[in-house]
Amino acid sequence: MKKRTVVIGMSGGVDSSVAAIELQRQGYEVIGLFMRNWDSFADGEMDGAPTTKEGICPQEVDYNDAKKVCDKLGIPLYRKDFIKEYWDYVFTYFLDELKKGRTPNPDIMCNKYIKFDMFAKEAQKLGADYIATGHYARLKDGKLLKAVDLNKDQTYFLSQVSKEQLQNVLFPIGDMLKSDVRKIAAQYGLITATKKDSTGICFIGERNFTNFLKNYLPNQAGDVVNIDTNEVVGRHIGLMNYTIGQRRGLNIGGTEDRMFVVGKDLSKNILYICIGEDNDYLVSDSCVVDTLNYLKDEKVIECNAKFRYRQEDIPVKLEWLDNEVIVRYPQGVKRVTPGQACVFYKDDECLGGGIIKEVRKNEQKLWYL
């Protein structure tokens, strides 16, 4: 019998490396595909994109590492540019959301439009019966489930991937702990065994976020105002550089109290802060969620939700409207942020999610968000 063919996204990291090993162990014919989603050289002309001490772009380092892993495992590796598609569907969305004063999550849209759409179509050209990635997640009986390693679970980032897109998808390391993933990579002598996990937004990498962003959105400095006293306490460097709940990087002197970003006024170019993490301005009790991607046939009324990655599950009640859902959490939750994903869960099952459109308290939209 002919082996079933799996095309796996090889990122040059340890997770996809061990996912490829697991697929081989399970008897699949494995093909690697490396995605190039960003032209680092182009934006490097503007802001000095980072390079290694050898002068190599990190994206090329990742490709070289993926090639070494595939060579060692006897897997062919193909390379495909999705630069235009990434710009059109992910980066443009990212900039548009920032202009609205929201906090977008481009990785979620990358999964929706690139990894489980464009990538899947390219994989079909290579004869794929399945596609696979190194995500920490599980699929069982058509259900998207949290990973065994809850500290690494990535279902939050898969919340915009549709039921149709999840067909014929494999997550080979969803049942594994991260520590075991690294042990297996070390046993196979892979170059990625001790490689540092990538952090932050992929197209920014290790660069300073503010320096990168000013290439695309001009900085417009403005006042920082204490929302409790209406006192101007400093200057900000552009509203798009801040997110709700942010504490670090405010660079406002004159007080030893901990300050948090609590809101933005785009029309007046004001950044609002509050003093203390227990400040009532940080708390909301409901939000409106749109851009819905729901993975179940029946709509639940009570479930859990996450409003940001790594947040503990929060009990919520859902009021379904035509194209939106009102999410209620009367116990109050801090730092719920427009533009971020709200993801629904029932125990370990991810039910899908949407994007936070507005945040409310006592049935009223918060004026400062």
Which residues are designated catalytic?
110, 202
Cα distance between residue 178 and residue 113, in whole Å:
27
Cα distance between residue 176 and residue 114, in whole Å:
25
Find where tokens 């990742």 sit: 62
- Neighbouring residues of 20: CB distance < 8 A, sequence distance ≥ 6: 8, 10, 30, 32, 69, 70, 73, 75, 172
End-to-end CA, the chain? 59
3-state DSSP assignment of residue 328? strand
Buried b (16+ CB within 10 A) or exposed e, 35-64: bbbbbbeebeeeeebeeeeeeebbbeebbe
Task: Report how far Cα 310 is from the mean position of its chain's Cα atoms.
Answer: 11
Which tokens in the block code for residue 73?
């495992």
Cα distance between residue 71 and residue 3, in whole Å:
20
Task: Report how far Cα 302 is from the mean position of its chain's Cα atoms.
Answer: 25
Using alpha carbons, list the distances in angstroms from residue 325 to 120, 252, 313, 333, 338: 30, 38, 18, 17, 14
3-state DSSP assignment of residue 78? strand
CA trace torsion 61, 67, 73, 76 (10° rounding):
150
The distance between the two most distant Cα atoms of the chain, rounded to a whole number of Å, is 74
